[in-house]
Structure 1
Amino acid sequence: MKEQIVCKQHDIQPGEMQEFTFGKVGVVLCRTPDGEFYAFMNSCIHQGAPLGKGKLCGATQSTTDGPGEYEYCQVGEIIRCPWHGREFDVKNEGKMLADSSKKLKSFNVRVEDDDVIVYK
């Protein structure tokens, strides 16, 4: 199993993401507001944009209040591509919001002491 310490836990605050290199592969490491870490290849599946240059944000969903009523949800759980706005659900295997049959390549992450470790 290939693994690598990419940072310390305190290097990335909840709701933030950072770019790292895992071996020779670019990786974007995300930390959701609940403190969990997720790692994905730092390349949008659409046209290869560096996702780490995008935003870790939320999404909108319709409410039961009636047509045209929406709420902002999943705050800090959605990666938005910097080039064309494609959105990926961090907590749902990096699946694209517009087409859940497509998803980002992901990596496993664990925390030991204060080290954040990415592995295959």
Structure 2
Amino acid sequence: MKEQVVCKTTDIQPGEMMESFFGKQNVLICRTPDGKFYAFMNQCNHQGAPLHKGMICGATTEQSEPGEYHYCHKGEILRCPWHGREFDIKNEGRMLANPDKKLPSFNVRVEDEDVIVYK
């Protein structure tokens, strides 16, 4: 099993992300508000945008009244910087608009203060 320390837990605050490397692969490490870590290929599957230049945000649910929207999943949605495609970090990096498509992901575990990516 290939594994590598990609950062320290203190390098990323909840709701933030950072670029790192797993071997020669450019990866994006995300930390959701609940403190969990996730790792994805740092490249949008649409046209290859560097996802670390995007943002972590939330999403809106269906409106219940005309003009009324509810914001949810704060800090759990990764938005591509080029075309705004959105991916659900906690749901295997699945695209919100098309859940059949998802970002390539990696396994992550935390040992002491090390964030470790492995295959």
Supply the RMSD in Å over aligned alpha carbons: 0.8
Gaps of 5+ in 1: none
4+ residue runs of structure 1 moved beyond 2 angstroms? Answer: none
2:15 equivalent to 1:15: yes
Q: What is the rounded CA distance, in whole Å, between the counterparts of 1:26 and 1:42 in structure 2?
A: 6
Query: Aligned residues, how many?
Result: 119
Q: How far, CA to CA, are the matches of 1:52 and 1:8 in structure 2? A: 17
- 2:93 aligns with 94
2:36 aligned residue: 36
1:82-111 Cα offsets, whole Å, 9 max, x none, are 000000000000000000010000000000
**Paired position in structure 2 for 1:114:** 113
Q: For 1:52, what is the secondary structure of its paired residue?
A: helix
Deviations 1:48-104 (A, max 9, x none): 00001100111111243x233211110000000000000000000000000001000
Which amino acid in the other structure matches residue 61 of structure 1?
T
Aligned to 1:55: 55
SS of the residue corresponding to residue 10 of structure 2 reads helix
Q: Deviations over 1:11-67 (max 9, x none)?
A: 100000000011111100000000000000000000000001100111111243x23
Indicate the residue corresponding to 1:81 in structure 2: 80
Identical columns (%): 73
